[in-house]
Structure 1
């Protein structure tokens, strides 16, 4: 008795994506790729990871820089929350209270392994993601903090000086580097992020009062 032919198992057909859905899928996988491999990796390597040809990838992204810009938009711009800036300017609350709340929600957004690795890789390879993001931070976080501090201390409303911006960068950068030590190096001493932030803000407020008021007259 002959056995009936049994069709071999066929791999399930890949769901056909719309052009926009496929483009977004490429961006999502590019984020993972650059976070692991860095920006020196070629689009050929990315296309291989995606399981597509390099010419197909170039149909969606005309150049590697174009793709990197899309990664920047997805990882940094789209994670920027519109409520952060009004929070910093809410003068119904003490500035220290606002800053503690802000940095808690801000770090919830950026303390992400892919976010951190892409930021560090881009700095090492001269990709302008860092410069673009740091300009955003200066305009939307650091300078507003200085403006609000002057109001709280009853000082004249004048544009922040470069040295004052650098002063606030020290605190902002310290909070950021705590995330690097935690997520990248896995060597953070404390696991209490809120306590780390609170201590940093206490030091910042005390320092700003001296920095903005100038040395005490004797």
Structure 2
């Protein structure tokens, strides 16, 4: 295919499809190059002019926002929350199931690299995703733990959230070592998850009992 043929093909692409194509290419670009490139450099890498890129995304931050939605928000599965709230199963069983399907999605090279590059740049992708994790994963886990062990219903303490982050972050960092650094020692993801969950559940029960207010 000649360059002119490619130009014609791009011009005939429907606007919505072209926008999605830009986002897909931007995900691959940011995953490899980080977020420091100028919009001119990004446009060149995408094979389009800078004005055309601006027509779809008024600023690089707007494009980064779309990348965040595509990589993080749109990959969120409503059934994950159902797994965590299924009280017909033990808490440990639910957590093993949840983290197995959750990591099937996030243990992705582009996902991991964009997350790490975002943290280095100071972009709010990390902060937004960490808030999502806290609200949709960690706080529900702590709520379900109190229900499972017949403990008083109350908002989670910050120290309890941090305790849950230790498990969540440990599983996440296993994925980083496996996919980014290629230095994971254990090759069976299910074993890593099971060990992390078992340690968390055992420690959490002790912690929640210790943190019960005296008046309870």
TM-score by length of 2: 0.93
Aligned to 1:20: 16
Aligned to 1:175: 171
Give structure 1 regions of 4+ aligned residues with deviation exceeding 2 angstroms.
9-16
Aligned to 1:127: 123
Structure-1 separation of matches of 2:197 and 2:2: 59
Aligned to 1:161: 157
Structure 2: any 5+ residue segments left out of the alignment?
Answer: 212-216
Secondary structure in 2 aligned to 1:13?
A: helix
**Which one has the bigger helix percentage?**
2
Aligned to 1:144: 140
Which residues of 2 match residues 53-64 of structure 1 at below 5 A? Answer: 53-64=49-60
Range 14-23 or range 199-208, more displaced: 14-23
Q: Does residue 36 of structure 1 match 2:23?
A: no
Offset of 1:112 from its aligned partner?
0.4
Q: Does residue 116 of structure 1 match 2:112?
A: yes
Structure-2 separation of matches of 1:31 and 1:185: 20
Cα RMSD over matched residues? 1.2
Offset of 1:12 from its aligned partner?
7.5
Structure 1: any 5+ residue segments left out of the alignment?
Answer: 1-8
Q: Which of these two proteins has the greater Rg computed from alpha carbons? A: 1
Equivalenced residues, count: 207
Structure-2 separation of matches of 1:10 and 1:63: 31
Aligned to 1:77: 73
Offset of 1:46 from its aligned partner?
1.0
> Residues 63, 196 of structure 1: CA spacing in aligned structure 2 closer, same or farther, 3 A cutoff?
same
Structure-1 separation of matches of 2:135 and 2:37: 32
Offset of 1:13 from its aligned partner?
2.2
Offset of 1:11 from its aligned partner?
5.7
